[in-house]
Structure 1
Amino acid sequence: MNITVIGTGYVGLVTGACFSEMGNIVYCVDVDENKIKSLKNGIIPIYEQHLKRIVNNNYNNRNLIFTTELKEGLQNSDICFIAVGTPMAEDGCADLSVVFQVAKNIGQIMTNDLIVVTKSTVPVGTGHKIRKIIQKELDKRNVNYNFEMVSNPEFLKEGTAVEDSMRPDRVIIGSEDEKTINTIKELYAPYVKNHDRFIVMDIRSAEMSKYASNAMLATRISFMNEVANICEKVGADINKVRLGVGSDNRIGYSFLYAGCGYGGSCFPKDVSALIKTGEIAGYSPKILNEVENVNNEQKMVLVNKIKEKFGEDLSNLSFGLWGLSFKPGTDDMREAPSIVIINELIESGATIKAYDPKAREPAEAIFVNNQNIEFCDNKYDALDDSDGLIIVTEWNEFRSPDFNEISNRLNNKLIFDGRNQFDKEVLNKIGFEYYQIGA
């Protein structure tokens, strides 16, 4: 098939690249000329495992075409995916301005019948608004091209996005047109040839499914973080509690890890947008409001532990910090707990030496010209003359470090672990003061 994907962010680039990997001709369209130029030169703007290889191979094979011209894509495609960003607006709602502009452009440019698919995460009812915008532009042109709307929400996890795209656990198709549904099924057939993983529903339910899924996962995280805080008060160990809870097959172990809060591009904005959706409809989502509150407070847990140890004034203290991205496997710094932690520590007088295997560049852009943070090339270099180690992101290379090296580099054998990477009893035996979440 010939496909146009509008937007070359995480969702658009991964989606387009994976469709091209299956032999489709894919036009990836973006208004950012520098980004398109970089992609043509083999420079991938995001880190995602396997993505660079797939993009470059299919670009060289001419299955993947990068362009700033929407017309070039639409005149050669039967399916158009909208995969532009829907960031959180100041009022907490999803900002749909780019989505609606894209819809307008499609109506102004399309020259043939088209299936328009919303891949972007959008509030309930957006698909119908897009339909009206496109039809309005077609009416202005006095042309009568047929188009069908589909909601096809993405469920990609940053760090494993390519794997999730190639082997999805489900493909949700929101549409009321049987021919269109069959076409989208045909497009996805190579990904689900071993199992029928298609779930077909109406557009509004498909739109809601994405928000509900992310809100549920965010709720599990905040719930366990709240339980972890109670564990600390009563002398229980959240690591053991997780085993007891997760072993119940009705619950399972996923997203039950206590930590220093969730971040990223999805959970914060999707929970907020779902809250606003409910409020606009006249309902106040009590649980989701608390999910947000717990998460915001959780990002301060490590800071509070450090201040309990050293006092409110952290002047003349330096800390080595491992992990900047909001999760391992990505360089994404959006809503990362590390940002809150670093800013709070610096505001209290501390200096930071930070290391992350992938997120140094975007982190440097966030903390540009801040003289109180230094970025290191090696995790152990971040410990030199530091008064303690802070672990924020659970990268694999942090799981089994050389504790003798850590001891030799640090001023104090002191670790504040926001991801519960180590065994407290083992560390205590070798002389470390070890502070973790919920134990």
Structure 2
Amino acid sequence: MYIQIIGASVNAAVIAYHLADVGHKIFWQPQDEALLLKLQQRQIIFDDVDLTMAVNRQLESSQIAVDQCGLSDVKVCILALAYEQYGCFEQQDFSRQFKQFDLVINYSHLALGKTEELKLLIANPNVVYIPDFLQEGNLLRSFLTPNLIIGCESGIQIKLLVQEIFRPIFPLLTQYNFMSVRAAEFTKLSISGFLATKVSFMNDLSNAAEALGVDIEEVRVAMSTDTRIGKQYLYPGCGFGGGNLTRDVLTLKEVVQETGSVNGLLDKIWDINEYQKEIIFRKLWTLFDCQLKDKVIAFWGAAFKPNTNSLAQAPILNILEACWAQGAITQVHDPRALENLRQHYPDQPLLVLCDHQYQAVENADALCLVTEWKQYWSPDYIELRQKMKRLNLIDGRNIYNPQYVKQQGFHYLGIGR
């Protein structure tokens, strides 16, 4: 099938690859000069090597063609606009452009109600909405959800067309969950809100466990064996970040408030997360008896999660600013996010960016693990002992064995442990 994709979002790249990979011919119009140039020159896109290689394979085989309008035979269009593209998109005249399509799929990460706006904007009644559940650092695999949620208020022919497009990826009829557009948009926000709830719940429990002398890791493992709960998003730590999840939670908060609900659960979830982002700083504050001036604090990890360079709502930002306010010197290593950190704080004299993880710990009074990159999971304790001034290790993601760390001569502090 010939399919046109419009947009410069990561959603566009992921869905273009997956549909091309099963035989569809994709005509991708990013409508973004910088992304178009990267695609034409086969450069890294969205800071994701796996995604780049996957898309490049489809470009080389001509299953994906970029910056080309489709033929008259193209009857399906997918809108996968970047968040910042939507404003410009609204200003354009689409009175003719979208009439040729039998189906328009909104696969953009936009707010509640935007699909209905798009339907009016492009003057095409057959607009369906498919929410994305893509995870940064796991883009290609996270597209392959067990089921496909589709907001569709058109007739059976449109539903059959949607199923035919995705049939090679979702072959079972039971994998298609059709509902109203508004319900699908609200489902997207609700799932993000529930995941954020699980994280904040565990973070809240971890603080209580620490006060009670209970290891939250033992509690987490036991809880995860209950099939009603599951093991996903049960890991306590120093707070969640990321542009998509935090945007969804804030949007859901606004939507719920606009309905007149005053229960405040989502407000509490957000407040817990913001509080948790500074837990590493509070541990440092206590560890050094409120005297952080001129202390050298090493940080492993800056990105909000592994396998990305994004600092969107990342806990490291709260931690660093709190440390600087007390005059602490911060030495940071991250495999991919250092340039973004440099751009975020271009003139901060107390920030030292380190290209090597053990360079960051030189003369350090404490080492703080913020992002659980795989290369941090098995430290060279001999090198740490040689380079650090004081052997303090704060484990912001509970990836280390406290007993083993203590056996290596370190003072260990975890989250809820």
Where on the TM-score scale, by shorter chain, does this alignment land: which range? over 0.9
| More moved, 213-222 vs 18-27 | 18-27
Change (3 A) 1:75 1:404: farther
Change (3 A) 1:129 1:355: same
Give 1:81's aligned residue: 78
Q: Which residue identity is paired with 1:387? A: D
Q: Which residue identity is paired with 2:180? A: D
Give 2:15's aligned residue: 15
Give 2:135's aligned residue: 157
Contact 2:8-2:32 within 8 A present in 1 as well: no
Cα distance in 1 between the residues matched to 2:208 and 2:248:
27
Change (3 A) 1:249 1:111: closer
Structure 2 SS opposite 1:132? helix
Give 2:25's aligned residue: 25
Cα distance in 2 between the residues matched to 1:111 and 1:173:
21
Contact 2:402-2:412 within 8 A present in 1 as well: yes
Cα distance in 2 between the residues matched to 1:283 and 1:74:
49
Cα distance in 2 between the residues matched to 1:30 and 1:312:
51
Give 2:353's aligned residue: 375
Q: Which residue identity is paired with 1:128? A: E
Q: Which residue identity is paired with 1:432? A: F
Question: 5+ residue gaps in structure 2?
Answer: none
Cα displacement string for residues 246-291 of structure 1 (whole angstroms, at most 9, x for unaligned residues): 1111111110000000000122111110111122222235211111
Contact 1:5-1:27 within 8 A present in 2 as well: yes
The question of 1:233 aligning with 2:218 is answered no
Give 1:424's aligned residue: 402
Q: Which residue identity is paired with 1:19? A: L
Structure 2 SS opposite 1:383? coil
Cα distance in 2 between the residues matched to 1:430 and 1:376:
24
Structure 1 SS opposite 2:167? helix
Contact 1:263-1:334 within 8 A present in 2 as well: yes
Give 2:236's aligned residue: 258
| More moved, 23-32 vs 332-341 | 23-32
The question of 1:273 aligning with 2:261 is answered no
Change (3 A) 1:19 1:362: farther
Contact 2:305-2:372 within 8 A present in 1 as well: yes
| More moved, 304-313 vs 224-233 | 304-313
Cα distance in 2 between the residues matched to 1:105 and 1:253:
48
Structure 2 SS opposite 1:283? coil
Give 1:172's aligned residue: 149
Cα distance in 2 between the residues matched to 1:400 and 1:281:
49
Change (3 A) 1:107 1:389: farther
| More moved, 310-319 vs 419-428 | 310-319
Task: State the 1:101 CA deviation.
Answer: 2.7
Question: 5+ residue gaps in structure 1?
Answer: 88-96, 136-145
1:82-101 to 2 correspondences below 5 Å: 82-86=79-83, 98=86, 101=89
Give 1:128's aligned residue: 116
The question of 1:36 aligning with 2:36 is answered yes
Q: Which residue identity is paired with 1:41? A: Q
Task: State the 1:78 CA deviation.
Answer: 2.1
Paired residues in the alignment total 416
Cα distance in 1 between the residues matched to 2:61 and 2:167:
22
Give 1:325's aligned residue: 303
Give 1:109's aligned residue: 97
Cα displacement string for residues 334-368 of structure 1 (whole angstroms, at most 9, x for unaligned residues): 11111111222122211222111222222222222
Give 1:64's aligned residue: 64
Q: Which residue identity is paired with 2:29? A: V
Cα distance in 1 between the residues matched to 2:199 and 2:134:
18
1:155-234 to 2 correspondences below 5 Å: 155-165=133-143, 167-177=144-154, 178-193=156-171, 196-234=174-212
Give 1:6's aligned residue: 6
Cα distance in 2 between the residues matched to 1:256 and 1:277:
26
Task: State the 1:4 CA deviation.
Answer: 2.5
Cα distance in 2 between the residues matched to 1:196 and 1:273:
30
Q: Which residue identity is paired with 1:376? A: C
Structure 2 SS opposite 1:50? helix
Cα distance in 2 between the residues matched to 1:78 and 1:406:
61
Cα displacement string for residues 220-244 of structure 1 (whole angstroms, at most 9, x for unaligned residues): 0000000001111111111011012
Give 1:341's aligned residue: 319
Change (3 A) 1:47 1:34: closer
In the alignment, which of 394, 399, 403 is matched to residue 381 of structure 2? Answer: 403
Contact 2:98-2:122 within 8 A present in 1 as well: no
The question of 1:307 aligning with 2:304 is answered no
